[in-house]
Amino acid sequence: MLELRDIVIRYGHGQSAVTAVDGVSLTVAAGSIVGLVGESGSGKSTLARAAVGLAPLASGTILWKGAALDPRGRPPLQYVFQDPYASLNPRMSVGASIAEGLPRTSGRRDRPARVTELLEMVRLDPGDVHKRPRQLSGGQRQRVAIARALAAEPEVLIADEITSALDVSVQGAVLNLLKEIQTRTGVGILFISHNLAVVRYMADSIAVMKSGRLVEHGTTEDVIERSTHPYTKQLLEAVPTMTMGSGRS
C-alpha cells in the first residue's frame, strides 16, 4: 500500500516561497478507492504528482509497503492525467502508446496480444490499435490513457481529475469503467476531483484538502453525512443539484 507521511511541498525560494502542500498524511490501501477533494489551488494535484515523483518534496516520506520506493525498479504507481488531449503523444498510434506501458520483461511476441486485451478491458475496439489520438474522441483518448497506465500493472492508480476535460454525457462511461477495473483487478485508486458528487460515487473514503492542508478525512458516509469541518459543509452545500428552480426566490 501507498503511504504518504507529513508531506510538505514548497515552490520558489526564500521569502517568495509558497507552501502548496503543508504536512499531509494519506494512505491508499490495496483494493480501495480514496477520494481526494478540494478546490483549485488546494494542493491536491501537487500532492498526487509528488507521490509519483513529478514534484519535489520539501520534507516528508513516501512509503510503499513500509519501505521507500525504489526509483529504478518497476513502479507500483501509475498516473492518469487530467487532459487526454495532452497526455497522449500525437505522433504515436494507440497501440504504441499502450505498449510503452508494458513491462520490459514481457516477451516481444506477447505484446500485441496484451495490447488487444487492454483495449478490450477499457472497452475500445481492438481495431483502433493503429489510430492516432486525433482520430479519437476525448472519452476514447482517456480510455487509452487508462489502458496505458494499466499496462504497467500498477498496484495503485492515481486518477487526477480524469473526467473534468470530458463532457458529462461520457463522464459516466469513463467512471463506470474505472470502478469496474478496480473491482476486477483489485488495484488501489487515489481518485482526485473537485466534484464532490463524483467523488462520493467513486470513493470508499474521502479526504478533503483546503489551502494545502487536509481538513477532513473519513469514510465516504461519515464525510458526506456527518461532516465536522465547516469547509466540508460549505462544499456540500455548493454542489449544484437538479432540484429545479430551488435557487430562485
Partner 1 sequence: MSRSRARHHLSSPLGVVTVVLLLLLVATAVVAPWLFGDRATQIAGGSLQAGPSAAHPFGTDALGRDVLARTLVATRLSLVLAVLVVGIGVACGLIIGTVPVVLGRRAGRAVVAGLNLMVAFPGLLLALFLAMIFGVGARGAVLSMAIAFAPSFARLTHTTASGVANADYVSAARLLRVPRWRILTRHVVPNISEPLVVNATSQVGAALLSISALSYIGFGVQPPQYDWGRMLADGLPAIYTNPAAALAPSIMIVVAGLAFVLAGELLTQVLGGSQHGHLRMPSLRFPRREPAPAETPPPGDEVLQLERLTVTVPGETAPFAPVVDVSMRLRRGEIVGLVGESGSGKSLTAMAAAQLTSYPNVADADVHRIKGNELRRMRPRDRERLLGTSLAMVFQDPMSSLNPTLKVGRQLAEVAETHERLGRRDAWRRAVDRLSAVLITDPEARAKQYPMAFSGGMRQRASIAMGLMAQPALIVADEPTTALDVTVQKEVLGLLRRISRETDAAVLLISHDIAVVAENASRVLVMYAGRVVEELPVSGLAEAAHPYTRALIASIPDMSTDRSRPLANIPGRPPHASDLPPGCAFAPRCARADDRCRQERPELSDSGGAGAVACWHPLLPVLESEA
- Interacting residue ranges for partner 1, rule: CB under 8 A: 39-40, 52-54, 72, 74-75, 77-79, 81, 83, 86-92, 97, 100-101, 137, 139-140, 145, 148-149, 151-152, 167-173, 175-176, 179-180, 194-198, 200-201, 220, 224, 234-248
CA angle 78, 36, 57 (to 5 degrees): 60
- The pair phi, psi for residue 195, each rounded to 5°, is -95, 110
Residue 40 CB, shortest distance to partner 1, in Å, is 6
Q: Decide whether 13 or 72 has the Cβ nearer to partner 1.
A: 72
How many alpha carbons fall within 13 Å on the CB side of residue 61? 8
Q: Decide whether 6 or 144 has the Cβ nearer to partner 1.
A: 144
Q: List, as one string, the DSSP characters of the chain.
A: -EEEEEEEEEESSGGG-EEEEEEEEEEE-TT-EEEEE--TTSSHHHHHHHHTTSS--SEEEEEETTEE--SSS--SEEEE-S-TTTSS-TTS-HHHHHHHHS-TTS-TTTHHHHHHHHHHHTT--GGGGG--GGGS-HHHHHHHHHHHHHHT--SEEEEESTTTTS-HHHHHHHHHHHHHHHHHH--EEEEEES-HHHHHHH-SEEEEEETTEEEEEEEHHHHHHS--SHHHHHHHHHS---STTTT--
Q: What is the chain's length?
A: 249
Residue 59 CB, shortest distance to partner 1, in Å, is 20
Q: Decide whether 6 or 18 has the Cβ nearer to partner 1.
A: 18
Q: Decide whether 66 or 237 has the Cβ nearer to partner 1.
A: 237
Residue 43 CB, shortest distance to partner 1, in Å, is 14
Residue 81 CB, shortest distance to partner 1, in Å, is 5
Q: Please say whether the beta carbons of 153 and 134 come within 8 A.
A: no
Residue 146 CB, shortest distance to partner 1, in Å, is 11
Residue 141 CB, shortest distance to partner 1, in Å, is 11
Q: Decide whether 46 or 87 has the Cβ nearer to partner 1.
A: 87
Residue 116 CB, shortest distance to partner 1, in Å, is 19
Q: Decide whether 31 or 75 has the Cβ nearer to partner 1.
A: 75
Q: Decide whether 6 or 199 has the Cβ nearer to partner 1.
A: 199
